[in-house]
Amino acid sequence: MEVSNQSSVTEFVLLSLSAHPKLEKTFSVLILLMCLVILLGNGVLILVTVPDSCLHTPMYFFLGNLFFLGIYYTTSSVPLVMDGFLTPRKTISFSGCAVQMFLSFAMGATECVLLGMMAFDHYVAICNPLRYPVVMSKAACVPMAASSWVAGGANSLVQISLAV
C-alpha cells in the first residue's frame, strides 16, 4: 500500500512588518498617498489625450494603454497591501494568492508586450517614415494592443496553472 501526503495549503501568512507594528500605519499612509498620485496622474493623462485630436497617434494610443495598465495594476495590488497593514488578520487565502499572482503576472507580461509594440512603432517611424501611416494605422494598432492584453492574460494563465 502506497502512503501519500494528504495535506493541503489553505492560506498563507503575510509577515510584512510584524516586527515593527508602529511603522505599518505610517507605511499605509505613504502607500495610500502614492496610490492616489498614481491614479490621479494616469487618469489625468488619459483624460488629456482622449479629446485632443492631435494626440490620436499610435504612440499616444499605446501610452494610453500603459496609463490604463498602471491604474489597473494599482487598484489590484494596493488594497491587499493596505489590508495587510491595517488589519490584525495577516493571512491570504490560497485562491486569493492565486488571483493576486494572476493579476500581477498578467499586467507585467502585458506591459512588456506593449513596450515591445511601442518599440516597433518607433522603429517604423524612424526606418520607414513614408510607409508609417500605412503600417501603423488604427486598423493595425487596435489589434496589436488587444493582442498584448490577451497575450499577457494567456501567459499569466499558463504560469498560474503550473504553480497551482
Question: What distance in Å separates the CA atoms of residue 120 and residue 85, rounded to the nearest whole number?
Answer: 41
Which cell is 103 given?
A: 493579476
Number of domains in the chain: 1
Q: Kind and range of the H or E element at 153?
A: helix 138-163
CATH of the domain at 130: 1.20.1070.10
Q: Which domain covers residue 105, as residue numbers?
A: 21-163
* Res 144: pLDDT: 93
Q: What is the pTM of this model?
A: 0.81
- Nearest CA to 92 out of 105, 77, 71, 108 is that of 77
| Residue 11 in domain | no
* Res 71: pLDDT: 92
DSSP 70: H
Question: What distance in Å separates the CA atoms of residue 17 and residue 82, rounded to the nearest whole number?
Answer: 12
Summarize pLDDT for 17-50 with one digit per residue, the tens: 667 777 778 888 888 999 999 999 999 999 998 8
* Res 14: pLDDT: 75
